[in-house]
Structure 1
Amino acid sequence: MDWMKLSTTKITKVYHRVFFNHCYLCNNDTPHTLCKFCQQGLPTNLNHCKHCKRPTQYHTNLCGNCQTNRPSYHTCIAPYRFEGIIKTLIHSIKFNQGIHYIRPLTYLLSEHLLETYSCDQWPEQIFYVPSHPKRIKERGFCQTKAMTNQLVKYLKQHLNEKCPSLPRNNPLKKIKHLAAQHSLSRKERLKSQKNSYQLDRPIPKHVALFDDVMTTGSTIENCTNLLLKAGAERVDIWVIARTPDKEHSVKLSEPA
């Protein structure tokens, strides 16, 4: 018997039990990052546009925006609305150094991805929407890069070789330093993202693009068009949360 291997395995189990096998919200014992009770309180994106996953009051085939100007990506996966505890956790990561919340959020997304792609072809590579170097310097890290790294770790545990690869250097670069997007109106966001990104090399035919939140979709659409011009034939969008329209946000938050 390999006692060294056995002791290392036991130590690893104890380490995970002490530091990881607890709910990140209520601290109860759980084999996952969030217990089933806390997961029940998350704002799941149940009613949405079939294509862009924009939250709506009722389930619809295509929202008005997609009917008149359908986004160029193939599919969008957005399991949560950008409200409640999901919004609080993402804001904590971006503005309050709450990096430890990356694990539960990416775990939730990975579980949804595994279910979604159970009958579909996985992308060859995954890229993330990058922050500008000045924003990274202000924040101390790029949250989308950190989230993508953790997401790939979760997916590899289930997919092994089928897991989309993560390039060592993200080919997407942000070249314009803009005001924080949450401080801009919808019209300003749509205008500001034009020519904000560049792509420095050819890419595979089927890729995934990750971002933490999709609001107007202007950033995603600009990056998608760059990926398509660089050789992609299918771009899948992976986001943790989708921001509902103000009118729908009010209706969705009203008690039944």
Structure 2
Amino acid sequence: MDWKKLSTTKITQVYKSVFLSQCYICNAKTQNTLCKSCHEGFPTNLNHCQRCKRPTHKASVLCGQCQTNRPAYTICIAPYRFEGIIKTLIHSIKFNQGTHYIRPLTYLLSEHLIESYSSESWPEQILYVPSHPSRIKERGFCQTKAMTIQLTKNLTELLGEKCPTLPKNNPLKKVKNTQAQHSLSRKERLKSPQSSYQLDGPIAKHIALFDDVMTTGSTIENCTKLLLKAGAERVDIWVIARTPDKEY
């Protein structure tokens, strides 16, 4: 008998039963990372543009912006609206060291991805929109990197070999330290420099590009065009939440 393997297995079982069998928000006993009551309070992005997933008052084929300027990416997956408890949790991760909320948020995204790709081919590679080094130093970590690592772990358990690979070094780099996006108006975001990112490393033909939140979509669009110009044939966007317009 492999006692070392048995010991590791038992320790994992105990860890999961003690720490992973309760809701990350209210601490109630649950089989998942969130209990049913807390999950039902999440602002689901039900009515949205079919292309960019911009929240709308009612389901629409394409929003006006997508009809005028069709996004460069193929599909966008954004299961939640960036408001309410979702906004609180993501802000806690980014600004208050609430990294323990990464697990439940990426778990929920994983479930949504499994459903979305039931009849689609999975990307070969997953990349993330990075922060500038000075911002990472200020914050202490890159939240999109931490989220992508956990998301990849979740998908590996669910998909096995079908899971997109996560490069050891993200080839997408932010080279200009632009002003924090959350502090800018929509007009200012759209005017942000388009050359803030560069590629340094090989990329796959079919890429999933992850970001925590998508607001105007300008950052996502710039990164997508950069990837396509470098040889990618398809880019899918994965975000946890999509910001509603002010008039929503």
> Would the TM-score normalized by the shorter structure come out above 0.5?
yes
**Residues 1:193 and 1:79: Cα distance change in structure 2 (over 3 Å):** farther
The code of the aligned residue for 2:185 comes to: S
Superposed displacement of residue 4, structure 1: 4.8
State the match for 1:18 in structure 2: 18
Aligned to 2:155: 155
1:168 counterpart SS class: coil
Structure 1's 109 and 193: CA in aligned 2 closer, same or farther, altered over 3 A?
farther
**Sequence identity percentage:** 77
- State the shift of 1:3 in Å: 5.0
Unaligned runs of 5+ in 2: none
RMSD: 1.1
SS in 2 for 1:119: coil
- Could you give the per-residue CA deviations for residues 45-75 of structure 1, whole angstroms, max 9, x where no partner exists? 0000000000000000000000000111000
Query: Following TM superposition, by how much is the alpha carbon of 1:213 offset from its aligned partner in structure 2, in angstroms?
Result: 0.1
Distance in 2 separating the partners of 1:111 and 1:193? 34
Partner of 1:184: 184
- Residue aligning to 2:145: 145
> Cα distance, 1:220 vs. partner?
0.1
Shift of 1:126: 0.4
Matched to 1:223, the amino acid is: C
Output the CA distance in 2 between the equivalents of 1:98 and 1:32.
19
Structure 1 residues 194-216: Cα deviation after superposition (integer angstroms, max 9, x where no partner) = 11101123421111000000000
Distance in 2 of aligned mates of 1:209 and 1:12: 31
Q: Which residue in 2 is equivalent to 1:169?
A: 169
Give the CA deviation at 1:14: 1.4
| Aligned mates of 1:166, 1:2 — CA distance in 2 | 31
Contact 1:193/1:219 (8 A) holds in 2: no
The equivalences for 1:10-159 within 5 A come to 10-159=10-159
Deviations 1:210-239 (CA, angstroms, capped at 9, x unpaired): 000000000000000000011111100000
* Aligned 8 A contact 1:202 1:230 in 2: no
> Is 171-180 or 209-218 further displaced after alignment?
171-180
Name stretches of at least 5 consecutive residues in structure 1 with no aligned partner: 249-256
Structure 1 moving runs of 4+ over 6 Å? none
